[in-house]
Structure 1
């Protein structure tokens, strides 16, 4: 997976669509859903790690963006 869009498409394969209107909250819920899928052994370790890394990076970038006045 190379983008947040890829993760969204991946989650759709499991019938999961997450959108709550707040970008960070949406990404955090996607992370929780990935954890649940992984703990249920429905996804491979590599898929889980790749998606988690992307999500956490995006969340960190958005939070930094929000704290730096422009």
Structure 2
């Protein structure tokens, strides 16, 4: 797992499709869904940690992009 697409595919494997219309919101919702899967023991710790890091990175990138649009 290396990209946001990979995290999306992990969630889709559990029947979770996330599309809220704004990329930042999608990333935040994916994080919540990933936490729920992990808390219920459906995702192992290694996959959870990797996916969490990917989501954090993408969230940071998206916030930076939005901030540069506002300037």
Question: So what's the TM-score if we normalise by structure 1?
Answer: 0.93
How many positions carry a matched residue from both structures? Answer: 70
For the residues of structure 1 that align with 2:33 and 2:6, how far apart are their CA atoms? 15
RMSD (CA atoms): 1.1
Flag structure 1 segments of 5+ consecutive residues without an equivalent: none
> Which 4+ runs in 1 deviate beyond 3 A?
none
- TM-score relative to the length of structure 2: 0.92
Query: What do the CA deviations read for 1:5-36 (whole angstroms, capped 9, x no partner)?
Result: 11111111101000010000001000000000
Q: Which runs of 5+ in 2 are unaligned?
A: none
- Tell me how far apart the structure 1 counterparts of residues 43 and 17 of structure 2 sit (CA, whole Å): 17
Q: In the alignment, which residue of structure 1 is the partner of 2:8?
A: 8
